[in-house]
Amino acid sequence: MTKPAITVFVFGLYMLGQGLILLIMPNVLLRLVGLAPAIEIWVRVVGIAVLVLSYYYIRNALLNNTVFFRLSVEGRTLQLALFAGLVALAGAPVILLAFAGFEFLAGLWTLHALRKS
């Protein structure tokens, strides 16, 4: 696997973990970000969506799809901006910026690996 592919693969594993937590025990993550426990199905639906996204990341890493790698950097950057907007304009918990910041840094790792290869 190339270095850019490894960064995307690792990120896919991170998303796989998030998706499983949201699907199996969502209130653990919700409490961590300061949200009320959920009894509705929506949080598990989000967990399934994150699992599907993790599949895309892992499969594209295994296929060494550099176009996907570049798009993922853009998407992770956009996510940080959108989460910052939620915090600033909609009163979302500030802890969301930690998640988005981690994902942004992971995107920078991918970008760095792409530039080096």
Q: Is 113 exposed, middle or buried (0-12, 13-18, 19+ CB in 10 A)?
A: middle
- Per residue in 59-98, pLDDT (tens digit) is 999 999 999 999 999 999 999 999 999 999 999 989 999 9
Instruction: List CB contacts of 115: < 8 A, sequence separation 6 or more.
Output: none
Distance in angstroms (rounded) separating the CA atoms of residues 70 and 77: 11
Q: What is the pLDDT of residues 4-46, one digit of tens each?
A: 999 999 999 999 999 999 999 999 989 988 889 999 999 999 9
pLDDT (0 to 100) of residue 77: 98
Cα(27)–Cα(35) distance, integer angstroms: 9
Structure confidence at residue 1 (pLDDT): 95
Can you give the pLDDT at residue 71?
Answer: 98
Residue type for 94, please?
V
Cβ burial of 21 (10 Å; 0-12, 13-18, 19+) is middle
